Chain A
Amino acid sequence: MKHLRSIDELGLDGLTGLLQLTDHMAEINQRPVPKVPALRGRTVASLFFEDSTRTRLSFETAAKRLSADTMTFNVSTSSVNKGESLRDTVATITDMGVDAFVVRHKSVGIPWQISQWTTASIINAGDGAHQHPTQALVDCYTIREATHAQSFAGMKIAIVGDIKHSRVARSNIQAFSLLGAKVTLVAPPTLLPPDVSHWPVTVAHKLDEVIGQTDVLYMLRLQSERMAQGHVPTLREYSEQYGLTHKRVLALKSDAIVMHPGPMNRGVEMQIDPSDVKNSLIHRQVANGVSVRMAVLFELLGSGSNLGGQA
């Protein structure tokens, strides 16, 4: 495996392989000294064109726990947004001796474009509304950890919210489906992509019709701009119809799981405090972030799967 750019590129084997590898990394993180020399001498560069302290720190911690060196390029949105500068930046950093780029950008397709300009491995930390594969890995791992299920066959997962603009949703729909889950999207038609008939999902417009049967309730964040763009009349109406309210928490099955990729818009999609929700795994999603990213970095840079059969 040379890159991790999207879940469909990763495939089921790649996905289960990384989840198993994450178990190893999780054990390392339990040790008093959670550090192994596995990626010593390797350099991982973070190219974050969109602000995200949490994901970036998660990757950097993961790299450091594997003893890799890290470089961070906090690129201001103004200067390096044009294609030419991006290409130069990538080439220059590659010349400095970088083994992997972790890239987050608001434009779809950047990880694939960058792959043409460098020999380093590319890890997609989010490209526009397209994919966020490490988040999907974190979410799958968190569910697997809680349910001890290797396969999600028969599991009912409801993804609620702004599917249309969500890279987390796109990656998760692919990942959950690959593992065998039944995915239902819950959103008003304006927050769904124009045509999802070829996706392996069912669609519901009323959360209350679905919430009582769901095994995993996955809440997406609704950005406040969506109201200005006419996707929802008001945030209040959205929150009443699609938010996790106290009443809806009571409607959940006793063993149902609640998840959210963060950051949360309190009062919008989450009306209650997640720590008040019995089966919220949101804190596990955060905790598992480093282990998952360690697995990804090790798989791409240390496992030798790129060696092409050399002994």
Chain B
Amino acid sequence: MSQSIVIKGATVVNRESQQVADVKIENGFVVEVAKNLKGDLQLDASGCIVSSGFVDLHAHLREPGKEEAETIETGSRAGALGGYTALVAMPNTDPPQDSVAVIDFVREQGKRAGLVDVVPSGCITLGRQGESLAPMAELSLAGVTLFTDDGNGVQDAALMRRALEYARGLGVTLAQHCEVAELTKGAVMNECSCCTDLGLPGWPAIAEELMVFRDIELVRITGASMHFLHLSTKRSVELVRAAKRDGLPITAEVTPHHLSLTQELLASYDSVYKVNPPLRSAEDIRALKDGLRDGTIDAIATDHAPHPRRDKEMSLDLAPPGMLGLETALGVVLAEGMCEIRDVVALMSWNPAKIARIGSTHGLDVAAGANANLCVFDPELTWSVDPDRLASKSTNTPYAGKTLRGRVRHTIFKGTATVIDGQAQK
């Protein structure tokens, strides 16, 4: 901890400036950004970008309850390797994160692993059952700032309205997994010509859009803050764009897989491509990318969803939905080449840090005095994904064997290097 670290020769990307400089870190903080700095540990970063560490608004760490798929420790390690210094842990654990005991447990496990800031989110409803509100005030006193029933959307409009009103009083943000469950019974993939050929029930786009529309209107009358998780359709982007034009307190995220993979992949019968919301069409991808570029979508979030291999080996209708994402997010985003590096940093670090309300310690400009939560990445390095060599306990990545562009070289968390030259340090 007393060891000083110097990141040498990277391009420092901040909100208002970019320059090639060394970054010196001591006692958990950035102390100097200038050329030719010296320190105890020199980390070569030539050709790399250094920015604030990435913040994932959406990671399923599976602990407590499904430790065979992932633990907070293995998920944190995967995050660190992906350049993340903070992860918002989704609450669909077992028991769910709807009580202070579980929230504290998750946070403690994160601290014990010491690789990223694990920020537990809370449930909106008790047990995520969608019937009655979870004790949001109590949870917010325990430090929770983001609430969601993710895994499911809150189906009851009246209950959602109450939740938003209550949230407004607490100054916390609700995040919605938009899916009208009645329309997606048994659904396995996007409702499209491919699912017609396969004879599988489809997940129609309106199942997402109806809830996006509903919640935008509920925000309009309640004034609470809402964050839309994993948007996936063109119309969802249009709805959010219009809502933002009206000045509503709405933010939105998109996953790397929804920016790069289409529904046709399901024709391989491989459940690794099964995810909620499902992979959509090329047209939806174009609209999502437009949304990223014009600010409609604020953040890229992974929806990292590990599942044990034997679960994903099941047939399409039986396999659980979900894909890994933490270690491949940067590589996928840069390979898609849809925006500048600065925008990538905004989408993966600055904006999510603000939405998660951890902007005092994460997503800061790399400058003297800032908390040393940093990511150093090579934006040009191409690499091939080997699922067995990922740090996650599970292997369900849809990018197995694919070549991505951009890889994290070093990650600094609270002034300590958690990743050096692509290797986790603990």
> Which residues of A come within 8 Å of B, CB atoms?
81-84, 87, 105-110, 112-113, 128-131, 164-167, 170, 193-199
> Which residues of B come within 8 Å of A, CB atoms?
188, 191-193, 195-200, 202, 204, 268-269, 310-311, 313-319
Determine how close the nearest CB of chain B comes to the CB of A260; give it in whole angstroms.
Answer: 19
Closest to B312 in A: A83
Determine how close the nearest CB of chain B comes to the CB of A113; give it in whole angstroms.
Answer: 6
Sorted from nearest, which 7 A-B pairs have the closest CB atoms?
A129-B199, A109-B269, A107-B315, A83-B314, A193-B196, A83-B313, A84-B310
B198 near A109: Cβ-Cβ < 8 Å: yes
For the complex, give the distance between the alpha carbons of A166 and B197 in Å.
11
Determine how close the nearest CB of chain B comes to the CB of A23; give it in whole angstroms.
Answer: 31
A109 near B310: Cβ-Cβ < 8 Å: no
Contact of A83 among B195, B199, B204, B315 (CB under 8 A): B315
A107 near B317: Cβ-Cβ < 8 Å: yes
Determine how close the nearest CB of chain A comes to the CB of B119; give it in whole angstroms.
Answer: 34
What are 7 sample pairs from A and B whose C-beta atoms fall under 8 A apart?
A81-B318, A83-B311, A108-B317, A113-B315, A170-B197, A193-B199, A194-B204
For the complex, give the distance between the alpha carbons of A303 and B118 in Å.
62
A107 near B316: Cβ-Cβ < 8 Å: yes
A129 near B313: Cβ-Cβ < 8 Å: no
Contact of B315 among A105, A129, A167, A197 (CB under 8 A): A105
- Taking CB atoms, residues of chain A closer than 8 Å to B200 are 108, 128-130
A195 near B196: Cβ-Cβ < 8 Å: yes
For the complex, give the distance between the alpha carbons of A175 and B212 in Å.
42
A83 near B192: Cβ-Cβ < 8 Å: no
Given contacts A82-B318, A108-B317, 12 further A-B contacts (CB under 8 A): A84-B313, A107-B314, A107-B315, A107-B318, A108-B269, A109-B269, A109-B316, A112-B268, A113-B269, A128-B199, A170-B197, A194-B195
- Taking CB atoms, residues of chain B closer than 8 Å to A193 are 195-196, 199
- Taking CB atoms, residues of chain A closer than 8 Å to B197 are 170
Given the interface pairs A83-B311, A130-B199, the reply to whether A112 lies near B269 with Cβ below 8 Å is yes
B193 near A167: Cβ-Cβ < 8 Å: no
For the complex, give the distance between the alpha carbons of A128 and B313 in Å.
17
B310 near A194: Cβ-Cβ < 8 Å: no
A130 near B193: Cβ-Cβ < 8 Å: no
A108 near B318: Cβ-Cβ < 8 Å: no
- Taking CB atoms, residues of chain B closer than 8 Å to A130 are 198-200
- Taking CB atoms, residues of chain A closer than 8 Å to B268 are 112
Determine how close the nearest CB of chain A comes to the CB of B139; give it in whole angstroms.
Answer: 36
- Taking CB atoms, residues of chain A closer than 8 Å to B191 are 194-195
- Taking CB atoms, residues of chain B closer than 8 Å to A106 are 317
For the complex, give the distance between the alpha carbons of A23 and B368 in Å.
85
Closest to B319 in A: A83
- Taking CB atoms, residues of chain B closer than 8 Å to A108 are 188, 198-200, 269, 315-317
For the complex, give the distance between the alpha carbons of A199 and B197 in Å.
9
Determine how close the nearest CB of chain A comes to the CB of B209; give it in whole angstroms.
Answer: 15
B199 near A167: Cβ-Cβ < 8 Å: yes
For the complex, give the distance between the alpha carbons of A128 and B204 in Å.
20
Closest to A166 in B: B199
- Taking CB atoms, residues of chain B closer than 8 Å to A194 are 191-192, 195-196, 202, 204
Determine how close the nearest CB of chain B comes to the CB of A60; give it in whole angstroms.
Answer: 25
For the complex, give the distance between the alpha carbons of A7 and B30 in Å.
64
Given the interface pairs A113-B269, A194-B202, the reply to whether A128 lies near B317 with Cβ below 8 Å is yes
- Taking CB atoms, residues of chain A closer than 8 Å to B192 are 194-195
For the complex, give the distance between the alpha carbons of A276 and B193 in Å.
39
For the complex, give the distance between the alpha carbons of A164 and B197 in Å.
10
Determine how close the nearest CB of chain A comes to the CB of B48; give it in whole angstroms.
Answer: 40
For the complex, give the distance between the alpha carbons of A170 and B315 in Å.
19
Contact of B199 among A81, A84, A170 (CB under 8 A): A170
Determine how close the nearest CB of chain A comes to the CB of B198; give it in whole angstroms.
Answer: 5
For the complex, give the distance between the alpha carbons of A220 and B188 in Å.
25
- Taking CB atoms, residues of chain B closer than 8 Å to A82 are 310, 314, 318
For the complex, give the distance between the alpha carbons of A217 and B120 in Å.
61
Closest to B197 in A: A170
Determine how close the nearest CB of chain B comes to the CB of A71; give it in whole angstroms.
Answer: 22
- Taking CB atoms, residues of chain A closer than 8 Å to B196 are 193-196, 198-199
Contact of A109 among B193, B195, B202, B315 (CB under 8 A): B315
For the complex, give the distance between the alpha carbons of A108 and B315 in Å.
7
- Taking CB atoms, residues of chain B closer than 8 Å to A167 are 199
Closest to A115 in B: B269
- Taking CB atoms, residues of chain B closer than 8 Å to A198 are 193, 196
For the complex, give the distance between the alpha carbons of A230 and B280 in Å.
27
- Taking CB atoms, residues of chain B closer than 8 Å to A170 are 197, 199
Closest to A109 in B: B269
- Taking CB atoms, residues of chain B closer than 8 Å to A110 are 315
For the complex, give the distance between the alpha carbons of A158 and B189 in Å.
29
A87 near B198: Cβ-Cβ < 8 Å: no
Best-surrounded residue of B192, B196, B319 (most CB of chain A within 10 A): B196
For the complex, give the distance between the alpha carbons of A84 and B318 in Å.
12
- Taking CB atoms, residues of chain B closer than 8 Å to A196 are 196
Best-surrounded residue of A106, A113, A131, A170 (most CB of chain B within 10 A): A113
